[in-house]
Amino acid sequence: MPAAVSATAVVPPRMGEAFPGASVTPVSWIPTRDLDLAEWTAAGRRLGAIGRCGQWGLGDWIRYGNAKFGERYRRAARITGYDVQTLMNMVYVASRFTISRRRENLSWSHHETLASLEEGAQEHWLDRAAAERLSISDLRLELRDWRRGSRKSLDDDGDFTEAPLPREAVLCPNCGTRVMVPGAQA
């Protein structure tokens, strides 16, 4: 079973709330007194949580606003300071992974890399990325190799099977799209 986002996850403090012993601005974290190791560690955990949940939070926030108030990307861009295309990307990724399928042990970028795949393939690659501790770069390389060499598809049992490309097709080395070769023999 995938390691999904837990309902009991620690909620990071809101921006503007003081960290104990530190001041936070949009461009800094400044200790306001001498911190001990435990306080410094707690601040790091909070900062890390804020960084890891930001894109998911914004994607879900905009999805809610779109459903309740209609499409408001321009307004959301003014409110958040992000450009419209970036916000649209956050919404796309958030919409491709229900909360129960999001993996806490993988980054937003891992999910973003897999967002365009079918759900079964997403699960396969999420499992593999987590088990093998694949970096984003390694995951992208593995996906590119998978797309170039052969296609894998899910069989009736939910397992991946190799499906070689027909001889009359090649894969684009940049995007992985299958291109038919004119005049090639099967």
- What local confidence, expressed as pLDDT, does residue 125 receive? 95
| Alpha carbon distance 106, 135 (integer Å) | 9
pLDDT tens for 131-175 read: 999 999 999 999 998 888 655 555 555 555 555 445 566 666 666
Between 22 and 97, name the one with better pLDDT.
97
- Section 10-32 average pLDDT: 71
pLDDT score of 22 more than 70: yes
Give the residue among 98, 164, 88, 155 at the shortest CA–CA distance from 126: 98
Confidence of residue 179 (pLDDT cuts 50, 70, 90): low
Token pair listed for 143: 């996906």
Confidence of residue 24 (pLDDT cuts 50, 70, 90): confident
CA 161, 120, 5 angle in degrees (round to 5)?
Answer: 140
- What local confidence, expressed as pLDDT, does residue 72 receive? 80
- Section 171-181 average pLDDT: 64
Residues in the chain: 186
107: Cβ–Cβ under 8 A, 6 or more apart, which residues? 52, 136
Give the residue among 105, 112, 53 at the shortest CA–CA distance from 86: 112
Report which DSSP code applies to 17: S
| Alpha carbon distance 30, 47 (integer Å) | 12
How large a percentage of the chain has pLDDT more than 90? 49
pLDDT score of 185 more than 60: no
Token pair listed for 174: 């940049």
The answer to which of 6-20, 31-45, 101-115 has the lowest mean pLDDT is 6-20
pLDDT score of 84 more than 80: yes
31: Cβ–Cβ under 8 A, 6 or more apart, which residues? 21, 22, 40
139: Cβ–Cβ under 8 A, 6 or more apart, which residues? 110, 113, 114, 125, 129
- What local confidence, expressed as pLDDT, does residue 175 receive? 65
Identify the H or E element spanning 31.
strand 28-31
pLDDT tens for 34-81 read: 999 999 998 888 888 888 889 999 999 999 999 999 878 999 999 999
